[in-house]
A and B are shown apart, each in its own frame.
Chain A
């Protein structure tokens, strides 16, 4: 079996929950664009190029409003600021992946980052190709969902109320996996507590940046306590 085939086979099972979530969420994005008056190739192209779920929904409003490129830039920057933390966490894991690294960074959405960071990649599977295929499969699901939704629009009605919880369930599992692997839980607990406090204080639309700032400050202050090699990065 070739290196790529082997990596694809190892990667696919990790993406099954994301396939479910992305096909439905992508479709709801496509439907949203369709009913907002856009042809199907709008959700197809935006889902492919932007590939960051929440900001794509916001883009629909931007396209419907007055032309303001600076606002579009700043809004996207704020919503996606959390990706900076993903990059910092992946500096080492992406090392030595060659040209694939460009795509690994380009397609680093919440789901791809979470799976690639926590997955136990078997010794005999190429890490670079494994992560590449996780990204690629996820992007295919998302673009396919968005395109289908964009084509069918309001025609389809199905009782899938609640299916979006699949993403929440996946992040809960990833949080648990990290919890079971780590030696101390300070950072995990801080993440939950800080985000919850910021959500209450700043509201659903504005809590990400304050949460990130608070995490940086508190984790920096705790460096002496945490940086003893106790915090094992999971492989």
Chain B
């Protein structure tokens, strides 16, 4: 691939990414009232999307082979437990990550 072709390829990826980010703001400009249906989606979608993002992070975990997803399961339990106990974002995330690193490096 020539440098020009590389630039075009990267430009295409940038263009597509920006399209997905700007599209809702172009279709529903802030000057006009947003349709009620879209407002409704804006309220209910985030919760579902956060669920999607959790699953997305775990998409390559194979429960059939290897460690069967146990390090992930245990560490997520630790994150959840810590968060319900202390409700401190940094403690929950650090605790879960350290737990995961110990598990994958020394146990599994």
Binding site for B on A (CB under 8 A): 13-14, 16-17, 20, 45-46, 49-52, 55, 59, 62-64, 66-67, 69-70, 72-77, 80-92, 94-96, 101, 105-106, 108, 110, 114, 117, 159-163, 165-180, 182, 185, 187-196, 199, 204, 207-208, 211-212, 215-216, 219-220, 223, 226-227, 231, 233
Question: Given A67-B5, A91-B42, are A162 and B22 also a contact pair (CB < 8 Å)?
Answer: no
B21 engages A91 (CB within 8 Å): no
Question: Which of A70, A108, A219 is in CB contact (< 8 Å) with B21?
Answer: A108
Question: Which of B25, B41, B45, B49 is in CB contact (< 8 Å) with A105?
Answer: B25
A178 engages B47 (CB within 8 Å): yes
Question: Which of B30, B54, B60, B83 is in CB contact (< 8 Å) with A95?
Answer: B30
Size category of the B interface is 35 or more
B13 engages A50 (CB within 8 Å): yes
Segment 51-72 of B: residues with Cβ below 8 Å from A:
51-60, 71-72
Question: Given A162-B103, A165-B100, are A199 and B59 also a contact pair (CB < 8 Å)?
Answer: yes
Chain A residue with the shortest CB-CB distance to B101: A162
A46 engages B46 (CB within 8 Å): no
A82 engages B49 (CB within 8 Å): yes
Which residues from chain B contact A46 at a C-beta distance below 8 Å?
A: 10, 13
Which residues from chain B contact A91 at a C-beta distance below 8 Å?
A: 24-25, 28, 30, 34, 38-39, 42
Tell me the bound Cα distance from A82 to B24 in angstroms.
Answer: 12
Binding site for A on B (CB under 8 A): 1, 5-6, 8-10, 12-25, 28, 30, 34, 37-60, 71-72, 75-76, 79-80, 83-84, 87, 89-90, 92-94, 96-97, 100-101, 103-105
A114 engages B50 (CB within 8 Å): yes
Question: Which of B5, B12, B19, B101 is in CB contact (< 8 Å) with A165?
Answer: B101
Question: Given A17-B93, A110-B53, are A92 and B42 also a contact pair (CB < 8 Å)?
Answer: yes
Show 14 residue pairs from A and B whose CB-CB distance is below 8 angstroms, ordered by the A residue.
Answer: A46-B10, A66-B1, A72-B12, A72-B16, A82-B49, A86-B49, A87-B23, A105-B22, A110-B53, A160-B101, A172-B96, A174-B53, A176-B80, A178-B47
Which of A92, A185, A191, A227 has the most C-beta atoms of chain B within 10 angstroms of its own C-beta? A191
Question: Given A114-B50, A173-B79, are A73 and B13 also a contact pair (CB < 8 Å)?
Answer: yes
B40 engages A223 (CB within 8 Å): yes
